[in-house]
């Protein structure tokens, strides 16, 4: 998450607040910051989630389908606490749920043995079975378990608008997991490629889905499977996202660790390489590189847009 600040800070009860604070596309004045602190102080029995709900109601902060953006509000509250000393209610750890898809301790017995290796050609696996990992489903539990166990980034509880897929082969063997969620708030390479100004990004960001996790099981060794799965994802997400969330996506994005992966599967699936990240984390605010650089890939879900980009020499992958 990034913030832009004015030059002359004001002080509110020991908290340093710039004249104008910009976080997640919102502008907060010192008076609004003070009102927010007063709201929290006036309701000591409220949880952080309850504060976020009230914030969404007062600011009319909602998704395109009218749902309160409580996760974004929680994220904003944490940023204000970390950077400007906003006093939040204490975490209620006794009531926190275990992450979705994680088995309770009593059910996590011995590690299950690795499944048999899956080899052969792509045709031998078809038709593939795509399962949406809906809440409390067995597919969701398996998919998140795989991401935690085998993806190099792991996976905490998915939040906000997202879709989780577990892909099986014709014999019912688990092959892969996809997780698509909210787009990165800022990405210079992506925004430049899409021709976005700051205002255009605010208006269009909900039309971009972030392919944040892609896992082909380590025991699956089938040539061309990864690019085939990416092609299947683009077709599925175009229909499933509006059915599940109420609005359509126009783009997919992903960030590939360049020192670890080449991105060859994305290139083969006709994604477009648009540059690299600057190596800064969401919480870094001093313009210093603190994370490995990643390659930025995007995919236009609209066929006409893909054709137009290809004719203009801006489609079809490659660096």
| Residue pLDDT, tens place only, 181-225 | 999 988 999 999 999 998 999 899 999 999 999 999 999 999 999
Q: How far apart are CA 4 and CA 24, in angstroms?
A: 10
pLDDT of residue 4: 38
Q: What is the pLDDT of residue 305?
A: 74
The pLDDT > 70 percentage for the chain reads 77
DSSP 8-state symbol, 220: B
User: So what's the pLDDT on residue 255?
Assistant: 97
- Identify the CATH number of the domain defined by range 123-311: 3.40.630.30
Using alpha carbons only, give the angle 312, 314, 319 rounded to the nearest 5 degrees: 145
How many CA atoms does the CB half-sphere of 59 hold within 13 Å? 24
Is pLDDT of 107 > 80?
no
* Angle of CA points 203, 208, 214, to nearest 5°: 160
pLDDT tens-digit profile of 32-52?
888 899 999 999 899 988 998
Q: Would you list the domain boundaries of the chain?
A: 3-84, 123-311
Structure token digits, residue 291: 């994370």
Q: Is the pLDDT of residue 244 over 90?
A: yes
Average pLDDT, the chain: 83
Q: Report which of 311, 302, 300 is spatially closest to residue 271, judged by C-alpha positions.
A: 300
């Amino acid at each position: 998450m990034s913030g832009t600040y004015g030059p002359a800070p004001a002080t509110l009860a020991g908290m340093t607040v710039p004249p104008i604070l910009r976080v997640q596309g919102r502008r907060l004045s010192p008076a609004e910051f003070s009102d927010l602190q007063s709201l929290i102080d006036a309701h000591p029995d409220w949880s952080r989630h309850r504060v976020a709900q009230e914030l969404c109601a007062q600011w009319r902060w909602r998704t395109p389908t009218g749902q309160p953006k409580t996760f974004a509000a929680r994220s904003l509250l944490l940023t204000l606490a970390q950077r400007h000393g906003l006093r939040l209610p204490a975490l209620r750890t006794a009531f926190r749920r275990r992450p979705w898809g994680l088995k309770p301790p009593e059910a996590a017995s011995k590690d299950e043995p690795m499944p048999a290796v899956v080899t052969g050609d792509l045709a031998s696996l078809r038709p593939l079975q795509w399962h949406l990992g809906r809440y409390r489903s067995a597919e969701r539990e398996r998919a998140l378990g795989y991401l935690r166990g085998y993806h190099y980034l792991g996976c905490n509880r998915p939040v906000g608008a997202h879709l989780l897929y577990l892909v099986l082969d014709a014999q019912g063997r688990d092959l892969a997991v996809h997780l698509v969620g909210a787009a990165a708030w800022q990405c210079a390479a992506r925004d430049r490629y899409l021709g976005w100004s700051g205002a255009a990004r605010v208006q269009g960001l909900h039309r971009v889905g972030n392919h944040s996790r892609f896992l082909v099981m380590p025991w699956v060794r089938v040539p061309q499977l990864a690019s085939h799965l990416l092609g299947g994802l683009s077709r599925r997400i175009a229909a499933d996202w509006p059915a599940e969330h109420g609005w359509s996506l126009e783009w997919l994005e992903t960030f590939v660790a360049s020192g670890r992966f080449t991105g060859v599967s994305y290139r083969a699936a006709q994604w477009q390489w648009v540059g690299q990240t600057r190596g800064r984390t969401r919480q870094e605010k001093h313009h210093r590189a603190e994370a490995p650089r990643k390659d930025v890939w995007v995919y236009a879900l609209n066929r006409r847009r893909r054709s137009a980009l290809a004719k203009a020499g801006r489609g079809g992958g490659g660096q």
